[in-house]
Amino acid sequence: RYISTFRPSVKCEVAKNKAQWKTMGPAKVAVPSPKNFLQKHSKEPKLPIRKKEQDSKKLPALSVPRRTDHPVMGIQSKKNFINTNAVAAITGLPKKPQPIYVDRRQGDKYLLETSGLVPKYIKKKDYGVTPKYITRRNAEMKRAQKEYEAGILEHLKKRAMKQLSDEERRSLLQGLKKNWEEVYREFQGLSVEIDTIPKKLYKEKLESQMKQLEHDIEVIEKHKVIYIANE
Query: Which residue ranges make up each domain of the chain?
Result: 102-160, 162-228
- Tell me how crowded residue 48 is: count the other CB atoms within 10 A of its CB: 5
CB burial class (10 A; 0-12, 13-18, 19+) of residue 1?
Answer: exposed
pLDDT reported for residue 96: 87
Least confident piece of the model among 10-24, 33-47, 209-223? 10-24
Query: In Å, what is the CA distance from 124 to each residue of 91, 121, 195?
Result: 36, 6, 74
| pLDDT over 70 (residue 19) | no
pLDDT in tens, 148-177: 988 888 877 766 667 788 888 888 889 999
Per-residue pLDDT band for 230 (boundaries 50, 70, 90) equals low
| pLDDT over 90 (residue 142) | yes
| pLDDT over 90 (residue 143) | yes
Query: In Å, what is the CA distance from 182 to each residue of 111, 176, 187, 213?
Result: 69, 10, 9, 11
pLDDT reported for residue 15: 77
Question: Across residues 16-27, what is the average pLDDT?
Answer: 64
* Mean pLDDT of the chain, nearest integer: 84
CB burial class (10 A; 0-12, 13-18, 19+) of residue 157?
Answer: exposed
Q: Where are the alpha helices (DSSP H) in the chain?
A: 7-18, 81-91, 132-158, 166-188, 197-222
| pLDDT over 90 (residue 138) | yes
pTM surpassing 0.75?
A: no
pLDDT reported for residue 63: 78
| pLDDT over 70 (residue 185) | yes
pLDDT reported for residue 29: 74
Helices (H) and strands (E) in the chain, counts: 5, 4
Q: Using the 8-state DSSP alphabet, how is residue 108 labeled?
A: -
Please, which residues have CB within 8 angstroms of residue 153's CB and are 6 or more apart in sequence?
163
| pLDDT over 80 (residue 17) | no
